[in-house]
């Protein structure tokens, strides 16, 4: 596992459990700990300078989000990325995201949407310059924005779990660079429909985006079969 890349302000703002959770989540999403590999709690505690307790609490939270599994005899294992799982994940998103958009549409802030749009246009015009981190991931922020505006804590929790799994797959998006720019354009279509308060157009745009996302994930899984299982 790599060394920490977090600021002192971030460290002071969060509990040790939350710090450990974010640190380990980053290691998993970025595949620094690969699918199927053990997560060494003792080593993580040493790297963070913590006792084992906050690390164990963080691991329990990761298990709730299906990022790791805890085995009495084998310890903590990072869950594989399953092709069937991401297919199901996208099926669920196709069911809930139109409803999220229906609930959130009256609460959306046009200034927020315009800011998202400016970001997307910049990425379309300069795709090589765009750079995300796990903590500042546009796709995650964008879709979670609609979830949060829905006002449903259950949907927010579900979307957070799903979008975290999505981040793991998109870590490999460099193998399908054309899909990245396509995705940016699809986000613009969602934004434009939302700015117009045109719910049918928003739903159509999000469905098209998710259908294309499914194809993109399939390309990634075939290109990186060493990281995916059926």
Q: Is the pLDDT of residue 195 over 90?
A: yes
Q: For residue range 94-124, what is the model confidence (pLDDT) as tens digits? A: 999 999 999 999 999 999 999 999 999 998 8
In a domain, 58, yes or no: yes
pLDDT on residue 218: 85
- CATH number, domain at 31? 1.10.10.10
Q: How many CB atoms lie within 10 A of CB 110?
A: 10
- CATH number, domain at 184? 1.20.120.530
pLDDT, mean of residues 122-148: 81
Helix-helix angle 177-195:138-150, to 10 degrees = 30
In a domain, 32, yes or no: yes
pLDDT on residue 176: 63
Q: Are residues 90 and 25 in the same domain?
A: no
pLDDT on residue 98: 94
Q: Which of 79, 114, 133 is the last residue of a domain?
A: 79
Mean residue pLDDT of the chain comes to 86
Q: Are residues 28 and 96 in the same domain?
A: no
Number of domains in the chain: 2
Q: How many CB atoms lie within 10 A of CB 97?
A: 23
In a domain, 222, yes or no: yes
d(CA 192, CA 175): 29
Q: Is the pLDDT of residue 6 over 80?
A: no
* 13 or 200: which leads in pLDDT: 200
In a domain, 106, yes or no: yes
Q: How many CB atoms lie within 10 A of CB 2?
A: 11
Q: What is the residue range of 42's domain?
A: 8-79
Q: Is the pLDDT of residue 166 over 60?
A: yes
In a domain, 211, yes or no: yes
- pLDDT range class, residue 13, cuts 50, 70, 90: low
In a domain, 1, yes or no: no
Q: Which of 79, 96, 113 is the last residue of a domain?
A: 79
Q: Exposed, middle or buried by CB within 10 Å (0-12, 13-18, 19+), for 169?
A: buried
């Amino acid at each position: 596992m790599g060394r920490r890349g977090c600021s002192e302000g971030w460290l002071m703002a969060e509990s040790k459990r939350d710090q450990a959770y974010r640190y380990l989540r980053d290691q998993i999403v970025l595949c620094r700990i690969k699918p199927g590999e053990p997560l060494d709690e003792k080593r993580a505690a040493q790297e963070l300078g913590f006792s084992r307790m906050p690390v164990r609490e963080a691991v329990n939270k990761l298990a709730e989000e299906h990022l790791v599994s805890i085995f009495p005899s084998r310890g903590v294992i990072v869950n594989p990325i399953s092709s069937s799982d991401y297919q199901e994940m996208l099926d669920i998103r196709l069911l809930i995201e139109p409803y999220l958009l229906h609930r959130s549409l009256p609460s959306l802030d046009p200034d927020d949407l315009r800011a998202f749009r400016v970001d997307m246009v910049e990425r379309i015009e300069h795709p090589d310059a765009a750079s995300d981190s796990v903590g500042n991931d546009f796709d995650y922020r964008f879709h979670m924005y609609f979830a949060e505006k829905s006002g449903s804590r259950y949907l927010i929790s579900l979307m957070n779990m799903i979008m975290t799994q999505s981040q793991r797959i998109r870590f490999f998006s460099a193998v399908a660079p054309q899909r990245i720019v396509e995705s940016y354009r699809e986000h613009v279509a969602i934004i434009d429909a939302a700015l117009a308060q045109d719910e049918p157009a928003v739903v159509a745009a999000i469905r098209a985006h998710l259908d294309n996302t499914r194809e993109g994930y399939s390309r990634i899984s075939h290109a990186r079969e060493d990281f995916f299982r059926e």
